[in-house]
Amino acid sequence: MGEYAPADDMEPMPDYGDDETSTGLRHVVLTSAATIRPRPVFWLWKNRLALGTLGLLAGREGVGKSTLGYWIAARITQGDLYGCFQGTPKAVLVCATEDSWEHTIVPRLMAAGADLALVYRVDVVTALDITVGMSLPRDLEGVERAAKEVDAALMLLDPLVSRLGDLDTHKDAEVRQALEPLVAIADRVNMAILGIIHHNKSGSADPLQVIMASKAFTAVARSVHTVVPDPDDDTDTRRLFGTPKNNLGRGDLPTLTFTIASHSIDTDEGTAWTGRLEWGEEMAASISDAMRRASDSHEDRSATSEAADWLSDYVASQGGQVASADAKKACRVAGHTIDAIHRARMRLRLKVTSSGYPRATYWELPEPPVVGQSSDLLRGDPTTTTTTTTEAQLLQSSRLLQLERHGDDPATTERPPCAICPTGTALPGRGICSKCDAASRAAS
């Protein structure tokens, strides 16, 4: 046989630019899933920030996200952050470039009650004996060695994008080139990474879409936390903190509120002033709801706020539960639009249930927080326990959404399931589907 030659119209094999493949140094390895031992998730901050992962703390400038980041760091050094190291103080590594350690970072840590001996500033000294900031992926080996040396539980990157050196933060491949090896190191040394990152100016109400630069930041992160101003706070001092992305944990964590209060620090050269985080109450609205309200016009926000006040009082006056059709009729009589009342329902987080035939939907006030568990709520743990969503619950949720979409008109309300077969829907007044009804008539 002659030597094989490709046809003229065939593309040649690509040159991958890697000589290792021809020398046998680089090769594919297969690992059976049966040899990989499953492990539970271990939380540095219960249900919010897992060890061995990257978390993002996002928000626009001046909303207090850095102050919150240093509050988290302080709690870790004291061993009182609600998580797997509660009761065990751990070290924190901090890479910060925008703020002065002497004027801003150390005073913030002091105001938060940190053990300063367990907080380490991360610098890099070059071969020319010049001190520079840590750069990814160039300094990954040094990061791993430093984390092991002090047994760090957290590395705080403030801001995250400054750590990517010469890489283009708008290109997914280059962002992953820096972040994925860093996450691998975090997993090996049992540490979490928290990167502070800014919002862009897109004006989107989606908390994941407003994070600046490449989408790889949110893709690699297992959790994304967001700080936004409370759109309903006339003083413009209250902030909302929520977790719109949580791949390893719950998606229904409470939204927390906080303010930043002025706090004095005594120094050898006089009094220094800084900000101290003070937690407030838990809010019913999600971060996404808050961002949508913030993007609404002033008239829409006012209408929603007035409708929410009315709806809360109306449902409470009906014993905490009301048929949604009755609520919609009453709201029109009271002068509120249907759009405003639906926005108000989402803002109040009223539970939607259904019962009866024809099936009707009901709005219920949410359960109030359990007295005596506020400290757990502020640390991020909801009062309810984790449950697995069953197929029946998913079906029920879909039906409720349909009911909300079509209203409570019997002509458009979904019929209950057939009492005989698992797939049909019951005929009016029969309780069974048309197929089973025909079979029943034929048998008789």
Say what the pLDDT of residue 191 is.
Answer: 98
Angle at 157 between CA 221 and CA 58, to 5 degrees: 55
- Is the separation of the CB atoms in 217 and 160 below 8 Å? yes
- Is the separation of the CB atoms in 59 and 199 below 8 Å? yes
**Residue 3 is assigned to a structural domain of this protein:** no
Residues 272 and 339 in one domain: no
Query: What tokens appear for 222 in the block?
Result: 């297992």
pLDDT band with cut points at 50, 70 and 90 for residue 410: very low
pLDDT band with cut points at 50, 70 and 90 for residue 221: very high
- Is the separation of the CB atoms in 150 and 93 below 8 Å? yes
Residues 158 and 266 in one domain: yes
Q: Give the DSSP H or E segment for 342.
A: helix 338-348
Question: Mean pLDDT, to the nearest integer, of 36-63?
Answer: 95
Reading phi first (left if > 0) and then psi (alpha if -120 to 50, else beta), residue 270 is in left
Between the alpha carbon of residue 65 and those of residues 234, 241, 258, 338, 375, the distances in Å are 20, 9, 11, 36, 20
pLDDT band with cut points at 50, 70 and 90 for residue 8: low
pLDDT at 419 over 70: no
* DSSP bridge pairs for 276: 261
Hey, CA dihedral for 403, 288, 240, 370, is it positive or negative? positive
Residues 418 and 433 in one domain: yes
Question: Mean pLDDT, to the nearest integer, of 185-211?
Answer: 93
Say what the pLDDT of residue 55 is.
Answer: 98
Pairing of strands 91-96, 152-158: parallel
User: Hey, what amino acid is at 60?
Assistant: R
Say what the pLDDT of residue 17 is.
Answer: 53
Residues 285 and 312 in one domain: no
Residues 55 and 90 in one domain: yes
SS3 210: coil
Residues 109 and 155 in one domain: yes
SS3 225: strand
Q: What is the pTM of this model?
A: 0.70
Which CATH number does the domain housing residue 50 bear? 3.40.50.300
Residues 286 and 302 in one domain: no
Residues 314 and 433 in one domain: no
**Residue 332 is assigned to a structural domain of this protein:** yes
- Is the separation of the CB atoms in 397 and 349 below 8 Å? no
pLDDT at 45 over 80: yes
Residues 57 and 175 in one domain: yes
**Higher per-residue pLDDT: 393 or 128:** 128
Say what the pLDDT of residue 392 is.
Answer: 42
Please state the domain count of the chain. 3
Say what the pLDDT of residue 382 is.
Answer: 42
Bond preceding residue 416 cis, omega within 30 of 0: no
Say what the pLDDT of residue 440 is.
Answer: 64
* Share above pLDDT 70 across residues of the chain, in percent, rounded to a whole number: 76
* Share above pLDDT 90 across residues of the chain, in percent, rounded to a whole number: 50
HSE, side-chain direction, 13 A CA sphere, residue 404: 19
Find, among 280, 370, 383, 376, the residue nearest to 83 by Cα.
376
Say what the pLDDT of residue 21 is.
Answer: 55
Residues 151 and 267 in one domain: yes
Pairing of strands 131-132, 91-96: unpaired
* DSSP bridge pairs for 263: 274
User: Which of the listed ranges 45-49, 123-127, 248-252, 357-361 does the model predict with the highest average pLDDT?
Assistant: 45-49
Say what the pLDDT of residue 375 is.
Answer: 44
Say what the pLDDT of residue 48 is.
Answer: 96
Question: Mean pLDDT, to the nearest integer, of 23-48?
Answer: 91
Residues 320 and 279 in one domain: no
C-alpha dihedral, 67 to 73 to 74 to 77, nearest 10°: -170
Question: Mean pLDDT, to the nearest integer, of 156-171?
Answer: 94
The overall average pLDDT reported for the chain is 82
pLDDT at 314 over 50: yes
- Is the separation of the CB atoms in 243 and 224 below 8 Å? yes
Which CATH number does the domain housing residue 323 bear? 1.10.10
Residues 308 and 260 in one domain: no
pLDDT digits (tens, 9 = 90+) for 254-272: 899 999 999 999 999 999 9
pLDDT at 212 over 90: yes
Question: Mean pLDDT, to the nearest integer, of 286-310?
Answer: 78
pLDDT digits (tens, 9 = 90+) for 344-386: 887 777 888 887 777 788 888 877 654 444 444 444 444 333 3
pLDDT at 276 over 90: yes
Boundaries of domain holding 364:
297-368+389-406
pLDDT at 443 over 50: yes
Contacts of 306 (CB under 8 A, 6+ apart): 336, 340
